[in-house]
Amino acid sequence: MTKAVDTRRQYAFEDKVLSGIPSINKQLAQSTLQRLINRVCKTIAYEYQPPVVVFGPGVRHGKQMLSWCNGPIIELAPGQRDKLTIYHELAHAIGHEDHDDEFRSCLFGLLYLFEGINCQTMWTGV
């Protein structure tokens, strides 16, 4: 698939399926999200310093502002300051730039390991 199709499918899955799980969509404080990042990085033996989470405007993607990651920094846009976005951006920080099968496998693994959410049973290739 193309990068654009993979990205649309991933965002659709997160919007239509994962957004309905309250435990990973609650807006949280920056310090709480940083502790989550630190815990995840320690548990998975992340080889670099854990990314630093900052609250900012995000980057424009079409008509909306989205959170982003450049490796050492994860910037969370308003309305996206939740665990789901942290796991999504951590999958990028770990080394999966595109929203392809490897990215999905990493994200789904994080959600299962840290939240007990089995995305494999929910993924429909939206």
Instruction: Select the CATH number that applies to the domain covering 3-121 from these four: 3.30.2010.10, 3.50.30.60, 3.40.50.720, 3.30.750.24.
Output: 3.30.2010.10
Name the residue ranges covered by the structural domains of the chain.
3-121
pLDDT at position 68 is 97
pTM: 0.94
- 9 within 8 A of 125, measured Cβ to Cβ: yes
The mean pLDDT of 118-124, rounded to a whole number, is 86
pLDDT in tens, 73-95: 999 999 999 999 999 999 999 99
The whole-number average pLDDT for the span 31-47 is: 96
DSSP code string of 35-82: HHHHHHHHHTT-SSPPPEEEE---EEETTEEE-EE-SSEEEEPTT--S
Q: Is the pLDDT of residue 108 over 90?
A: yes
Rounded CA-CA distance 1/112 in Å is 25
Structure tokens at 57: 């405007």
Residue range 54-68, pLDDT digits in tens: 999 999 988 999 999
